[in-house]
Amino acid sequence: MSKENKQTSVSELGEFGLIERLTKDIKIKNASTIKGVGDDAAVMNYKDKQVVVSTDLLTEGVHFNLMYAPLKHLGYKAVVVNLSDIYAMNAKPTQITVSIAISSKFSVEALDELYAGIHLACETYNVDLVGGDTTSSLTGLTISITALGEVEKDKVVQRSGAKVSDLLCVSGDLGGAYMGLQLLERENEVFKVDNNMQPKLEGYDYILERQLKPEARMDIVAIFEKLGIVPTSMIDISDGLSSEIMHLCKNSALGCSLFEDKVPMDNQTKQMAEEFSINPIVAALNGGEDYELLFTISLDDYEKMKNDPDFTIIGHMTEAAEGVNLVTAAGSSIPLEAQGWNHAK
Amino acid sequence: MSKENKQTSVSELGEFGLIERLTKDIKIKNASTIKGVGDDAAVMNYKDKQVVVSTDLLTEGVHFNLMYAPLKHLGYKAVVVNLSDIYAMNAKPTQITVSIAISSKFSVEALDELYAGIHLACETYNVDLVGGDTTSSLTGLTISITALGEVEKDKVVQRSGAKVSDLLCVSGDLGGAYMGLQLLERENEVFKVDNNMQPKLEGYDYILERQLKPEARMDIVAIFEKLGIVPTSMIDISDGLSSEIMHLCKNSALGCSLFEDKVPMDNQTKQMAEEFSINPIVAALNGGEDYELLFTISLDDYEKMKNDPDFTIIGHMTEAAEGVNLVTAAGSSIPLEAQGWNHAK
């Protein structure tokens, strides 16, 4: 917010003036969008496609800290988080609505920054901003985004379709967003004690970007299509690998063996974990916010995907009675608990 | 919140336990809902219908005051406000998502009350609750609801379709919700000064209900269908008649003559306005929250609707050059200003 010289109060524009300013440059990109911003509701026509809908609510001080999250990145991330849920259904996001509640500390220029990030995400992911609500709050910033997507009827992937012996796979690498957050929080604490201290962030671009400007795995859904694979179940990793595996197992009524040494992690993640004396696998299991896709595929599809560098096979599904287990590098089997493995250790 | 003896903290249940408790009794009512709560996204299939989407964000202290708004009514109203936007497109609401952010002051039992109202509204309006987000806030309660609806392709009514000489009509009566709010705020001020004072609310049930538990005009959309009328333009009255008329005129590039003595108002509204020394027409024009439908119909449809007691003709559309005018009971013509007529007088 400090970059701008002129700070215009929202009351100078009024609600309708503000909406006009924040949405005037929108160009509709999807054929399914009939009418976007500017009426009581947006109008869409999905023809014979199925429609998926997901929503998230982010509040200042809980989901983000404006001390170190630039507003443009925040806007981008708020959209990405929602799109990630749409991709997790094997669908393509097509529309979003964005509602914000703002206290009087936010200027029009600050909201321009937030919406610059929102518009950039729409551009990157080919999504139309079709509606929303702009209102006041007594304190802080709240962002609520709903994403809609479309998918052919027989391609929808839910959490419940995994079968025994299906391969458990993940895109990208894990734990980076969590270690990026630890770094940002540490440097923020140092800054609060001494305002002249410059944060030491060099060499950690990757994990910082994982935290501040994550991407949703649009490419993975496209690769599935190209390879002719429909995963048997899928979920996005927002709460940490451990919690998401528990969801897949519970919804599919199965157990699972997860191999510790197969879990993909970037070197920066491992280095930062070492600095914080954290076992990196804990960052991957419980950290969250990686926005990678966790999915299961039938063994029959193994040949199709085995040479693709975008996926890592990290385990396989078992009968429910066998439980949900982490097989450590040393070969011992530990029951996995959602958000609990860390503390149980 | 005070009715319940046992107060369970949300942390005792955890996020997933809370979601399970708040959504366990949902029974899907609409054929277009394929998969509701419980995955990364809900799945719908609208076949050849068009889909309309609208969203609202309500924050404590701005949109509602828990000193006098019971949580069950608040949940009901939060849904109704969104459905009203769907009806304003001449569509039928079919699904909602509900996201809430809560501070630690809210117990599980308080959220049970809020969701009792949400579920009741879903029951009343035949809508499926298909998703949402439940999260923390540092202060107060925030509710974000997105409503989806369906409508046949040629039946969508936007704000932009009015023509010169179309009749301007409204459902129900106006100004009641605003006068109900004035009454509640007055009694709340009295209560704050003397906790032993009982609020004087007798004889004002109607305007209190208009404020605390409004209904969306589901019946009007059904009547249009029965009478074979498709309005040329429509909007719901959330911000006050004046502001909504300005929207219809601006979007349709027209002017309008509104007749003061035609604007329907209930006797309780008029009485309370008199107590507050407010001209009742001001409550109707600028009060808002009536959630009635304001629409235009072609003169050709006049015969079809002239005997229907659910509508009142309050004016007609004119060329843009004639402006947007209120014709007073005395016969003089005053330019109408959105949310400004009150002050300009």
**What are chain B's domains?**
10-155 (3.30.1330.10), 167-344 (3.90.650.10)
The reported pLDDT for the residue numbered A255 is: 97
Region B252-264 average pLDDT: 97
User: pLDDT tier at A338 (50, 70, 90 boundaries)?
Assistant: low
How far is C-alpha B153 from the geometric centre of its chain's CA atoms?
Answer: 24
Beta-sheet pairing, A293-297 with A141-151: unpaired
Q: Which residues of A282-294 are buried (b: 16+ CB within 10 A; e: fewer)?
A: bbbbbbbbbbbbb
Give the type of residue at A240: G
What is the nearest CA distance from A56 to chain B, expressed in angstroms? Answer: 6
What letter does residue A261 receive in the DSSP assignment?
G
Query: A56 to chain B: which residues are within 8 Å by CB?
Result: 99, 133
Compute the distance between CA of residue B53 and CA of residue B97 in angstroms, rounded to an integer: 11
Element (H, E) at B97: strand B92-102
Smallest Cα distance from B274 to chain A, Å: 30
A55: helix, coil or strand?
Answer: strand
| Residue range B114-143: mean pLDDT, rounded | 96
Would you say residue B3 has pLDDT above 70? no
Confidence of residue B92 (pLDDT cuts 50, 70, 90): very high
Judged by CB atoms closer than 8 Å, whether chains meet at A41 and B54 is answered as yes
A308 Rama class: left (phi>0) / alpha (psi -120 to 50) / beta: beta
Tokens 């308080």 belong to which residue?
B110
Written as one string, the DSSP assignment of A102-159 is E-TT-BHHHHHHHHHHHHHHHHHHT-EEEEEEEEE-SSSEEEEEEEEEEE-GGG---T
What ipTM was predicted for this assembly? 0.91
Per-residue pLDDT at B190? 85
Q: Please say if the pLDDT value at position B181 is more than 60.
A: yes
Find out whether B116 and B123 touch, Cβ atoms under 8 Å: no
More confident residue, A85 or B310: A85
* A42–chain B Cβ distance below 8 A for any pair: yes
Q: How far is B248 from chain A (nearest CA, A)?
A: 10
Distance, CA of B107 to CA of B105 (rounded, Å) = 6
Alpha-helix runs per DSSP H in B126-266: 176-193, 205-212, 218-227, 241-252
Nearest to B188 by CA among B165, B167, B210, B211: B211
Residue A279 forms contact with B (CB below 8 Å): no
CB–CB of B53 and A46 under 8 A? Answer: no
Closest residue by Cα to residue B60 from B184, B183, B143? B143
Task: For Cα atoms A102, A103, A105, give the angle at the middle one, nearest 5 degrees.
Answer: 115
Q: Per-residue pLDDT tens for A175-198?
A: 999 999 999 999 888 888 888 777
Partners of B235 in the β-ladder: B294
Give dist(CA A208, CA A241) in Å, integer.
19
CA distance B41 to B44: 10
Collapsing DSSP states into helix, strand and coil, what is residue B144? strand
B52: nearest Cα among A46, A125, A322, A73: A46
Q: Which residues of B fall within a CB distance of 8 Å from A153?
A: 45
Work out the minimum CA distance from A305 to partner chain B, whole angstroms.
Answer: 24
- Among A283-287, A301-305, B188-192, B303-307, where is mean pLDDT lowest? B188-192
Highest-confidence segment of A125-129, A132-136, A339-343, B331-335: A125-129
Please report how many Cα atoms fall inside a 13 Å half-sphere around the Cα of residue A172, on the Cβ side: 26
pLDDT digits (tens, 9 = 90+) for B60-85: 999 999 988 999 999 999 999 999 99
Please report the pLDDT score of residue B338 as a whole number: 54
Return residues 91-130 of A near B (CB < 8 Å).
Answer: 91, 95, 97, 99-101, 130
Using the Cβ of A88 and the Cβ atoms of chain B, whether some distance falls under 8 Å is answered with: yes
Q: What is the pLDDT at residue B1? A: 44
Q: What is residue A133's predicted lDDT score, i.e. its pLDDT?
A: 93
Q: In terms of C-beta density within 10 A (0-12 exposed, 13-18 middle, 19 or more buried), how is residue B120 classed?
A: middle
- Structure-block tokens of residue B15: 């996020």
pTM of the model: 0.93
B19 touches chain A (CB under 8 A): no
Name every chain B residue with its beta carbon within 8 A of the beta carbon of A44: 50-53
Strand partners, B44: A51, B33
DSSP secondary structure of A164-223: TTPEEEEES--SHHHHHHHHHHHHHHHHHH-TTPPP--TT-HHHHHHHHS----HHHHHH
CB B188 within 8 A of CB B67: yes
From B264's Cα to the closest Cα of chain A, the distance in A is 23
Give the residue among A151, A121, A128, A146 at the shortest CA–CA distance from A31. Answer: A128
Are residues B44 and A53 in contact, defined by beta-carbon separation less than 8 angstroms? yes
Q: What is the pLDDT of residue B32?
A: 95
Helix (H, G, I), strand (E, B) or coil at B296: strand
Mean pLDDT of chain B: 92
pLDDT surpassing 60 at residue A1: no
Nearest Cβ partner for B97 among A55, A100, A138: A55
User: B339: exposed, middle or buried (C-beta count within 10 Å: 0-12, 13-18, 19+)?
Assistant: middle
What the block records as the tokens of A85 is 């849920």
B46 neighbors B145 (Cβ within 8 angstroms): no
Lowest mean pLDDT across A130-134, A190-194, A287-291, B129-133: A190-194
What per-residue confidence (pLDDT) applies to A195?
Answer: 80
Instruction: Using an 8 Å CB-CB cutoff, list chain B residues near A88.
Output: 40-41
- Residue of A12 and B297 predicted with greater confidence: B297
Mean per-residue pLDDT for A7-27?
A: 90
The dihedral formed by the CA atoms of A195, A196, A197 and A201, expressed in degrees to the nearest 10: 90
pLDDT for B191 equals 83
The structure tokens listed for A182 are: 């630890």
Report yes or no: B41 at the A interface, CB cutoff 8 Å.
yes
| DSSP β-bridge partners for residue B167 | B297, B316
What whole-number distance in Å separates Cα of residue A265 and Cα of residue A268?
Answer: 8
Question: Which neighbouring-strand residues pair with A141?
Answer: A102
The residue to which tokens 């009982």 are assigned: B198
Cα separation, A134 vs A126, whole angstroms: 23
Q: Which residue has the tokens 């304001």?
A: B294
Q: Give the model's confidence band at B345: pLDDT under 50 very low, under 70 low, under 90 confident, else very high.
A: very low
What lies within 8 Å, CB to CB, of B119 at 6+ separation is B25, B26, B129
Closest CA to B104 of B9, B7, B19: B9
What does the pLDDT read at residue A337?
74
**Optimal mutation site among B19, B52, B55, interface A, most CBs of chain A within 10 A:** B55
Is A253 touching B (CB cutoff 8 A)?
A: no
| Separation in Å, CA of A170 to nearest CA in chain B | 16
H or E segment and range at residue A311: strand A311-319
State whether residue A137 sits within 8 Å of chain B by CB.
yes
B189 and chain A in contact, CB less than 8 A: no
Contact A339, A239 (CB under 8 A): yes
CB atoms within 10 A of CB A210: 29
